[in-house]
Amino acid sequence: MHDHFAKTAKIVGLGSYLPERILTNRELEAMVETSDEWIRTRTGIRERRVVAEDEALVDLVVRAGRAALTDAGVEPEDVDLLILATATVEQPIPATAAIVQPMLGLVNAACFDLSAACSGFTYSLNVARQFIATGEAETILVVGAECLTRYVDWTDRSTCVLFGDGAGAVVLKPGTPGEGILHVRWRTDGNYADIISMPGGGSRFPPHSIESIDKRLPYIKMRGNETFKVAVRSLTEISREVIDAAGIGVEDIDLFIPHQANMRIIQAVGNRLGLSEEQVFTNVERVGNTSAASIPLAMVDARNEGRLKPGSLLLTSAFGGGLTWASSLIRM
């Protein structure tokens, strides 16, 4: 029931952090032409969190990372590797993972960022488990974190209502076959690279170019209708792949935590997979789309609500810019 590794990677700690400021749909009504009812019926989102003016990505990463290390009972110097999944880096050079390393006290860890948009956390789990399976690492900290509100175009009513800030983290240690990360499947299709993108701020349109600012290129762009269709199809297919690979039935899954992008996507995928409402976890109504932070944030909330317990069989699926999509089956 698991991919063929002598050692598996087991989740031994969870942590999360959300900024204090809550931005409600009612407040958005005063900022852009939209309504609470429109946002709720199309996305399921009621509110999202926004970083304070003096906060940036590292602040979220450090808080979530510390919480996960404490939860795992792991000392910072025992961490061999930090993988930070994010699309909203602190600065272009160096990697944000390097900037947070001294703040977290990870003196012995190699550190790098992983860029796969909303699939970043699940991609990172797949990378992390290879290092544990080969014996290259004993203790790995994986963090998914985003400051998406810094890249939102507040004049674009179709996208500005969707995104929120936050960070979630897990600590991984070696486990025995049958526990931990049992299966992961991941996919990329760059033919759809322009469906979800931020064209400005890179080598094509550098941050300092006037053209880039004038054309509003350093902002998140999304083609919503196309995204919806491809997301539902991709998430359903990759979730089925993982379920089939494990040789289990849908009824064996204790909890399904999909990427919290949109309630309608989540419900459509749950229905197609034949999952009951009790099997599907959502917190999108409170946090919005937090991209790479989405699944670990939801894992912490699910555990706090008593829905994710030791021994639970967890299915996760994510979909994001790239396009990237990925699914994992985890025995907690």
* Active-site hit among 118, 147, 160, 262: 118
DSSP state string for 93-124: SS-HHHHHHHHHT-TT-EEEEE--GGGHHHHH
* Whole-number Cα distances in Å, 247 to 1, 35, 250, 279, 317: 6, 45, 10, 18, 18
Concerning whether 108 is annotated as a catalytic residue, the answer is no
For 148-232, list the strands marked E by DSSP.
Answer: 165-175, 180-188, 196-197, 221-222
Which tokens hold the place of 214?
């004038």
Concerning whether 2 is annotated as a catalytic residue, the answer is no
Instruction: Please give the angle made by the CA atoms of 304, 321 and 4, to the nearest 5 degrees.
Output: 65
Q: Which residues does residue 14 pair with via DSSP β-bridges, in sequence order?
A: 170
Concerning whether 289 is annotated as a catalytic residue, the answer is yes
DSSP state string for 126-142: HHHHHHHHTTS-S-EEE
* Active-site hit among 2, 111, 183, 259: 259
Give the residue numbers annotated as catalytic, written as ranges: 118, 259, 289
